[in-house]
C-alpha cells in the first residue's frame, strides 16, 4: 500500500472509465473561495450552469442537479415518477444495468429484466454483456402488455462495465410503435458529454448522469434531465421522496438557488467544464471520443484480444473492454500494470470479473496520453506472459498518425 505522500513522480495515469482526469483549468476553478449559496453572486453561477447543462443534454426542459453520486440520481429518477409495486422493464446490458435493477427491487418496484440469451462462442461470456439493449424484445414485451402495467422502460445508454452503447432513439421508436405510454428512462452517466446524447430529439423522459465522466469533474454531483411527461408523472407518483423530490428544486432553480446547500466548488468546476465543452462544440467532442476509441480498438485488434463489445455498430466511444485469454486473470494483470507503471485500468465487474479489463478514453485525454496508456498495457501483457499476436502500440500509433485530429481554429504560427 503506498501512502499519498509516497506517490511516484509524474502524473498518475487514470485510465479507468470514470472518474476521468480532471483538467488543471477545472481544478483551479474549484479552488476559489466558497461563497454564500444564498447570496446574489451565487445565483449568477446557478443560472449559468443550469442553462449550460440544458445545452449539454440537448433539452429545453429542466435539469436537476444533486450533490450525490450517480446512484443518487438513479434513485431520484425512480422515486420521482413511480409508485410502490409498479412494473418497470429493464434490459440487462451489464453490471450497471444490473445494479439499477437491484435498486428498483429495493425500492419496492417490480422490475422485469430482459436480455439476449446464452453465452458467446468466442469468449464464453454472456451475450447480454457484449451487446446493446435488445430493442425488438422491448417492443414485443410492450405489445403484449395490453393493460399498460409497465410504467417505465429503463436502459443504460453507455454500459460502463462492458463498453457497449445502446440505440436510445430505437428504444423510443419501439415504445411508440407499440402505442405504449411507459416513460423512457436513460442512464447516460458515462455517455453524457462523450457519446452523442439528445434528450429532446430522442424523446427521453428522465436521463441520469454524473459529474465524473465526460464532464471531467471529480465525483460527487449527478443529474436528472426531465421531460414535461416525467414532471406530470411526478405529481401522482407515490414512492417516498423528500431530498430527491424535483418540485422544490426546480422551483428554487428558477432564481438560480437550491433548497439545500449545493456543492458550490463543484459548481465552479461545472461552470468551467461547460465553457470548455460548449466552446469546443458537442459534435467535435463526440468526434474526438470516437477517434480515440478507434485508435484503442486498433491496439486490441493488433494484440489479437477480443473486444468485449461484440457488435461494431454499438462500440462505445468512451471506453473499450478487452477480454483476456481463458486462464489469464485480468485483475492480476491490472495489478501488475498499476504497480509497475502507475497506470489504473478499469476492472471487470459482475459476471465478467477477472475475464476482462477496461481502458477509459474519455474527457481530458489526448493521443499521447492514450499512447502512454497503451504502452503500459502492452508492457504489462508481455510481463504477464499473455500471448499477443502483434504490437497494439504500433497499430495505435499508425492509426493516430494517419488520422489526424481536426485542427482547432487558427492559432498564431510558432517562431520556428
Give the residues lining the site for ligand PLP (CB under 6 A).
Answer: 18, 69-71, 96, 156, 160, 187, 189-190, 210, 219
* CB nearer to ligand PLP: pick between 292 and 400: 292
Q: Smallest distance from the beta carbon of 358 to ligand PLP, in angstroms?
A: 10
* CB nearer to ligand PLP: pick between 74 and 303: 74
Residue with the CB atom nearest ligand PLP in the bound state: 70
The C-alpha cell at 309 is: 463489445
Q: What is the CA radius of gyration of the chain?
A: 22
Q: Smallest distance from the beta carbon of 8 to ligand PLP, in angstroms?
A: 26
Task: Give me the DSSP letters along 358-401.
Answer: EEE--SS--HHHHHHHHHHHHHHHHHTT---SS-HHHHHHHHHH
Residues ≥6 apart with Cβ < 8 Å to 81: 151, 152, 183, 185, 205, 206, 230, 233, 234, 237
| Helix H or strand E segment including 323 | strand 319-323
In angstroms, rounded to a whole number, what is the distance separating the alpha carbons of residues 222 and 208? 7
Q: Smallest distance from the beta carbon of 64 to ligand PLP, in angstroms?
A: 16
Q: Measured at the alpha carbon of residue 203, what is the angle toward residues 202 and 204, in degrees to the nearest 5?
A: 95
Q: Smallest distance from the beta carbon of 223 to ligand PLP, in angstroms?
A: 11
Q: Smallest distance from the beta carbon of 321 to ligand PLP, in angstroms?
A: 13
Do strands 343-347 and 13-15 pair parallel, antiparallel, or not at all (unpaired)?
parallel
* CB nearer to ligand PLP: pick between 75 and 367: 75
Residue 289's CB is within 10 A of a number of other CB atoms, namely 23
* CB nearer to ligand PLP: pick between 70 and 295: 70
CA distances 358 to 65, 103, 186, Å, are 28, 24, 22
Q: Smallest distance from the beta carbon of 190 to ligand PLP, in angstroms?
A: 4
* CB nearer to ligand PLP: pick between 159 and 272: 159
Q: Smallest distance from the beta carbon of 51 to ligand PLP, in angstroms?
A: 24
* CB nearer to ligand PLP: pick between 220 and 256: 220
Residue 121's CB is within 10 A of a number of other CB atoms, namely 7
* CB nearer to ligand PLP: pick between 18 and 214: 18
Q: Which residue has the cell 489479437?
A: 304
* CB nearer to ligand PLP: pick between 160 and 320: 160
Q: Smallest distance from the beta carbon of 334 to ligand PLP, in angstroms?
A: 17
Least Cα distance to 114 among 173, 155, 148, 71 occurs for 155
In angstroms, rounded to a whole number, what is the distance separating the alpha carbons of residues 204 and 228? 10
* CB nearer to ligand PLP: pick between 192 and 397: 192
* CB nearer to ligand PLP: pick between 67 and 392: 67
Residue 1's CB is within 10 A of a number of other CB atoms, namely 3
Q: Smallest distance from the beta carbon of 156 to ligand PLP, in angstroms?
A: 5
The C-alpha cell at 280 is: 469546443
* CB nearer to ligand PLP: pick between 96 and 129: 96
Contact 348, 357 (CB under 8 A): yes
Class of residue 152 by CB neighbours under 10 A (exposed 0-12, middle 13-18, buried 19+): buried
Residues ≥6 apart with Cβ < 8 Å to 161: 94, 95, 96, 129, 321, 348, 349, 350, 352, 358
Amino acid at each position: 500500500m503506498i501512502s499519498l505522500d509516497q506517490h511516484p513522480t509524474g502524473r498518475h495515469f487514470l485510465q479507468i472509465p470514470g472518474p476521468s482526469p480532471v483538467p488543471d483549468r477545472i481544478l483551479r476553478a474549484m479552488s476559489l473561495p466558497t461563497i454564500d449559496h444564498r447570496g446574489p453572486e451565487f445565483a449568477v453561477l446557478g443560472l449559468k450552469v443550469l442553462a449550460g447543462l440544458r445545452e449539454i443534454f440537448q433539452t429545453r426542459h429542466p435539469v436537476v442537479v444533486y450533490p450525490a453520486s450517480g446512484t443518487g440520481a438513479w434513485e431520484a429518477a425512480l422515486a420521482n415518477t413511480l409508485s410502490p409495486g409498479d412494473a418497470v422493464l429493464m434490459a440487462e446490458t451489464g453490471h450497471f444495468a444490473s445494479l439499477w435493477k437491484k435498486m428498483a427491487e429495493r425500492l419496492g418496484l417490480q422490475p422485469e429484466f430482459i436480455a439476449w440469451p446464452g453465452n458467446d462462442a468466442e469468449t464464453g461470456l454472456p451475450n447480454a454483456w457484449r451487446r446493446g439493449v435488445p430493442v425488438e424484445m422491448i417492443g414485443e414485451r410492450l405489445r403484449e402488455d395490453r393493460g399498460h402495467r409497465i410504467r417505465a422502460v429503463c436502459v443504460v445508454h453507455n454500459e460502463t462495465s462492458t463498453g457497449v452503447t445502446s440505440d436510445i432513439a430505437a428504444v423510443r421508436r419501439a415504445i411508440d410503435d407499440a402505442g405504449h405510454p411507459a416513460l423512457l428512462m436513460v442512464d447516460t452517466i458515462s455517455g453524457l458529454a462523450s457519446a452523442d446524447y439528445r434528450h429532446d430529439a430522442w424523446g427521453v423522459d428522465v436521463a441520469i448522469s454524473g459529474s465524473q465522466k465526460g464532464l471531467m469533474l471529480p465525483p460527487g454531483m449527478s443529474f436528472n434531465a426531465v421531460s414535461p411527461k416525467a414532471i406530470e408523472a411526478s405529481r401522482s407518483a407515490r414512492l417516498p421522496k423528500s431530498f430527491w423530490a424535483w418540485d422544490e428544486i426546480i422551483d428554487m432553480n428558477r432564481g438560480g438557488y437550491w433548497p439545500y446547500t449545493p456543492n458550490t466548488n463543484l459548481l465552479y468546476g461545472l461552470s468551467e467544464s461547460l465553457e470548455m465543452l460548449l466552446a469546443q462544440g458537442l459534435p467535435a467532442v463526440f468526434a474526438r471520443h470516437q477517434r480515440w476509441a478507434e485508435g484503442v480498438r486498433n491496439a486490441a485488434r493488433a494484440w489479437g484480444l477480443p473486444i468485449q463489445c461484440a457488435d461494431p455498430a454499438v462500440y462505445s466511444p468512451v471506453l473499450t473492454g478487452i477480454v483476456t485469454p481463458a486462464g489469464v486473470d485480468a485483475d492480476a494483470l491490472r495489478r501488475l500494470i498499476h504497480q509497475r507503471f502507475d497506470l489504473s485500468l478499469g476492472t471487470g465487474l459482475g459476471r465478467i470479473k477477472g475475464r476482462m479489463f477496461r481502458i477509459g478514453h474519455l474527457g481530458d485525454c489526448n493521443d499521447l496520453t492514450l499512447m502512454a496508456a497503451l504502452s503500459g498495457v502492452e508492457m504489462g501483457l508481455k510481463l504477464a506472459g499473455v500471448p499477443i499476436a502483434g504490437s497494439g502500440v504500433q497499430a495505435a500509433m499508425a492509426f493516430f498518425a494517419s488520422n489526424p485530429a481536426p485542427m482547432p481554429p487558427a492559432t498564431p504560427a510558432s517562431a520556428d
